[in-house]
Structure 1
Amino acid sequence: MSVGIVMLVHTALGRAEQVARHWATAGCPVVIHVDKKVDRKTYQEFQASMQDVPEIDFCKRHYCEWGGWGITAATQVASEKMLAQFTDVRHVFLASGSCLPLRPVRELIEYLDARPRTDFIESATTSDVPWTVGGLDIERFTMRFPFSWKTQRRLFDKYTALQRRIGLKRRIPKGIVPHMGSQWWCLTRQTLSAILEDPERATYDRYFRKVWIPDESYFQTLSRQYSSNIESRSLTLSKFDFQGKPHIFYDDHLQLLRRSDCFVARKIWPHANRVYNAFLTDEDGAMKRAEPNPGKIDRIFAKAVERRTRGRAGLVMHSRFPNEGWENGLTCSNYSVFQGFTELFEDFEPWLSKATGTQVHGHLFSPERAEFSGNQKVINGGLSDDPNLRDYNGAAFLTNLIWNTRGERQCFQYGPMDSQKISTKISKDPNAQVSVISGAWAVPLFRANHNFSDLRREAARLQKIENKFLYKLRSPNAKARIRIWTMAEFIESPMEPLQTIIDEIGNAPQRRLSEVPKMADLKGFGQFLQNLKNQGMHPHLMGDFPINDGPAVSIQKPRKPYLVK
Structure 2
Amino acid sequence: MSKIAFILLCHKDPDGIIAQAERLTAAGDCIAIHFDARAGAGPYRKLRAALDANPRVTFARRRVKCGWGEWSLVAATQEAARAALAAFPDATHLYMVSGDCMPIKPAAQAHALLDSDDADHIESVDFFGSGWIRTGMREERLVYRHLFNERAHKRLFYASLELQRRLGLRRAVPAGLEMMIGSQWWCLRRATVEAVLDFCACRPDIVRFFRTSWIPDETFFQTLVRHLVPGSEIRSRPPTFLIFSDYGMPVTFHDDHHDLLRAQEHLFARKISPDAALLRQRLDALWTARDTPSPAPVTGQGRNIYAYLTGRGRTGRRFAPRFWERGATIGAGRELLIVTSRKWQVGRRLAERIHAVTGLPRTGYLFSEQDADLPDLGGIGSDIAKRARHRRAMVRMIYDYHGSDRLVICVEPGHLDLIRDFATDRCTTRVLEVRCPFDDAYLLGHAQRAGLLTPHSPSAVVEALLPTLRDEMTHESDRLADAGLAHFHRIGPSAPLDANAAELRRFLSIPPDAARQIAATEQLYEE
Question: Into which bin does the TM-score normalised by the smaller protein fall?
Answer: 0.5 to 0.7
Residue among 115, 120, 136 paired with 2:117: 115
After TM superposition, list the pairs within 5 Å mapping 1:499-514 onto structure 2.
504-506=487-489
**Deviations, residues 517-551 of structure 1 (Å, cap 9, x unaligned):** xxxxxxxxxxxxxxxxxxxxxxxxxxxxxxxxxxx
- Aligned-partner SS, 2:304: helix
Taking structure 1 as the reference length, what is the TM-score of the superposition? 0.55
**Deviations, residues 243-276 of structure 1 (Å, cap 9, x unaligned):** 1111111112111111113210011111211111
- CA distance in 1 between counterparts of 2:486 and 2:291 reads 59
- CA distance in 2 between counterparts of 1:236 and 1:502 reads 48
Name the counterpart of 1:257.
261
Residue among 264, 267, 270 paired with 2:271: 267
* Counterpart AA for 1:112: L
Name the counterpart of 1:481.
424
* Counterpart AA for 1:504: H
- CA distance in 2 between counterparts of 1:502 and 1:208 reads 57
- Aligned-partner SS, 1:57: strand
- CA distance in 2 between counterparts of 1:30 and 1:564 reads 79
Name the counterpart of 2:35.
34
Name the counterpart of 1:278.
282
* Counterpart AA for 2:104: L
- CA distance in 2 between counterparts of 1:287 and 1:145 reads 48
Number of equivalences: 342
Taking structure 2 as the reference length, what is the TM-score of the superposition? 0.59
After TM superposition, list the pairs within 5 Å mapping 1:366-515 onto structure 2.
480-481=423-424, 504-506=487-489
- CA distance in 1 between counterparts of 2:27 and 2:266 reads 17
Name the counterpart of 1:94.
96
- CA distance in 1 between counterparts of 2:105 and 2:120 reads 20
Question: Are the aligned partners of 2:122 and 2:183 in contact in 1 as well (CA < 8 Å)?
Answer: yes
Structure showing greater radius of gyration is 1
Question: Are the aligned partners of 1:2 and 1:89 in contact in 2 as well (CA < 8 Å)?
Answer: yes
Q: 1:213 to 1:502 in 2, by over 3 A?
A: closer
- Aligned-partner SS, 1:205: helix
- Aligned-partner SS, 1:128: coil
Q: 1:505 to 1:111 in 2, by over 3 A?
A: closer
* Counterpart AA for 1:215: D
Question: Are the aligned partners of 1:237 and 1:264 in contact in 2 as well (CA < 8 Å)?
Answer: yes
**Structure 1: unaligned runs, 5 residues or longer:** 314-327, 332-427, 433-477, 486-500, 513-562
- Alpha-carbon RMSD across the aligned residues, in angstroms, is 3.2
Question: Are the aligned partners of 1:30 and 1:57 in contact in 2 as well (CA < 8 Å)?
Answer: yes
1:297 aligns to 2:240 (yes or no):
no
Question: Are the aligned partners of 1:241 and 1:305 in contact in 2 as well (CA < 8 Å)?
Answer: no
Q: Give the superposition deviation at 1:206.
A: 1.3
Q: 1:306 to 1:505 in 2, by over 3 A?
A: closer
Question: Are the aligned partners of 2:263 and 2:298 in contact in 1 as well (CA < 8 Å)?
Answer: no
- CA distance in 2 between counterparts of 1:202 and 1:284 reads 47
**Structure 2: unaligned runs, 5 residues or longer:** 322-415, 429-483, 492-498, 504-510, 514-527
Name the counterpart of 1:83.
85
Q: 1:288 to 1:158 in 2, by over 3 A?
A: farther
Q: 1:275 to 1:285 in 2, by over 3 A?
A: farther
Q: 1:564 to 1:301 in 2, by over 3 A?
A: closer
Q: Give the superposition deviation at 1:156.
A: 2.3
* Counterpart AA for 1:303: Y
Q: 1:287 to 1:483 in 2, by over 3 A?
A: farther
Q: 1:20 to 1:162 in 2, by over 3 A?
A: same
Name the counterpart of 1:192.
193
- CA distance in 2 between counterparts of 1:71 and 1:482 reads 55
Q: Give the superposition deviation at 1:167.
A: 2.2
Name the counterpart of 1:69.
71
Q: Give the superposition deviation at 1:182.
A: 0.6
Q: Give the superposition deviation at 1:127.
A: 2.9
After TM superposition, list the pairs within 5 Å mapping 1:108-257 onto structure 2.
108-116=110-118, 118-198=119-199, 199-228=201-230, 229-257=233-261
Q: 1:193 to 1:292 in 2, by over 3 A?
A: farther
**Deviations, residues 49-86 of structure 1 (Å, cap 9, x unaligned):** 22342211111211221111111011000001111111
